[in-house]
């Protein structure tokens, strides 16, 4: 149990375009999903916490208008990087918790974003 | 806020035992986690401690002392595939999201033959 998928696994885009990343819990209902960003050789940085059916809570310093998060169902959350720039290139990882797995977070495989 | 400290890097020998320590400071402690992260991959869940004591799971064990704000992850019979970063993470009960946890910077463990 506790399988989380992410799509796409990697994406290359031009500067100024928007990129949408999907995070799905495959075998449980995720009442809460989290979005992280990780730069090479650095630790995970929490970007936002997303509860199903409500607005996401962003961490300090994360622009909510640039990183749009939608958690419309108990199995799907999306992160849209709007007007992406090279400095947004990073490893984006989602995690989910809920149901029988409410006590911890299970991570998706991550999405590697490269903005040219 | 929280403060989570763990060594940046460690090296150990294949077949040996290694202990990775983690100390934390938080005003609303509600559980400690260990995750393993291989280079270029997402973290995978290893263990969860909320009460004092030792939790054993195969070659991996995790210990917690809440009074000391201290935990360790013990890896036995080390294998080359254990080379990875090990992340200590703490859940703080003050957060409205019950499962929000804060990660330490991770310990990069290298296993030599």
State which residue of chain B sits closest to A103, comparing Cα positions: B99
A105/B34 Cα distance (integer angstroms): 11
The three-class DSSP label of residue A33 is strand
Confidence band of B98 (pLDDT split at 50, 70, 90): low
Nearest CB among A2, A51, A103 relative to B31 is that of A103
Span B85-95, pLDDT tens digits: 999 999 877 66
The beta-carbon neighbor of A32 closest among B33, B44, B99 is: B99
Two tokens at A62?
Answer: 């994360």
How much is the average pLDDT of B68-93? 94
Instruction: Output the pLDDT for position B2.
Output: 64
> Could you tell me if A57 lies within 8 Å of chain B, comparing CB atoms?
yes
* pLDDT tens profile A29-82: 888 899 999 998 888 899 999 888 788 999 999 999 999 999 888 899 999 999
Rounded to an integer, the average pLDDT of B9-23 is 97
**Cross-chain residue pair B99–A110, CB shorter than 8 Å:** no
Ramachandran region, residue A87 (left: φ > 0; alpha: ψ -120 to 50; beta: rest): alpha
Candidates A93, A103, A108, A109: best to mutate against B (most CBs of B within 10 A) is A103
């Amino acid at each position: 149990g506790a399988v989380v998928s992410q799509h796409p696994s990697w994406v290359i885009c031009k500067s100024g375009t928007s990129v949408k990343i999907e995070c799905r819990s495959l075998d449980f209902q995720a009442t809460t999903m989290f979005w992280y960003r990780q730069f090479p050789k650095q630790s995970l940085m929490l970007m936002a916490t997303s509860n199903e059916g409500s607005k996401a809570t962003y961490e300090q310093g994360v622009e909510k208008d640039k990183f749009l998060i939608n958690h419309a169902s108990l199995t799907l959350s999306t992160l849209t990087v709007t007007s992406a720039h090279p400095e947004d290139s990073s490893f984006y990882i989602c995690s989910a918790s809920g149901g029988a797995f409410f006590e911890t977070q299970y991570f998706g495989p991550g999405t590697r974003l490269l903005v040219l | 806020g929280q403060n989570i400290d763990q060594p940046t890097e460690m090296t150990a020998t294949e077949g040996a035992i290694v202990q990775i320590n983690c100390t934390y400071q938080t005003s609303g402690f509600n559980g400690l986690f260990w995750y393993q992260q291989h280079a270029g991959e997402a973290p995978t869940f290893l263990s969860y401690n909320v009460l004092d004591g030792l939790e054993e799971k195969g070659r991996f064990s995790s210990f917690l002392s809440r009074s000391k704000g201290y935990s360790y992850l013990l890896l036995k019979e080390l294998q080359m595939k254990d080379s990875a970063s090990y992340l200590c993470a703490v859940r703080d009960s003050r957060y409205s999201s019950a499962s929000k946890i804060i990660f330490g910077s991770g310990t990069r463990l290298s296993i030599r033959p």
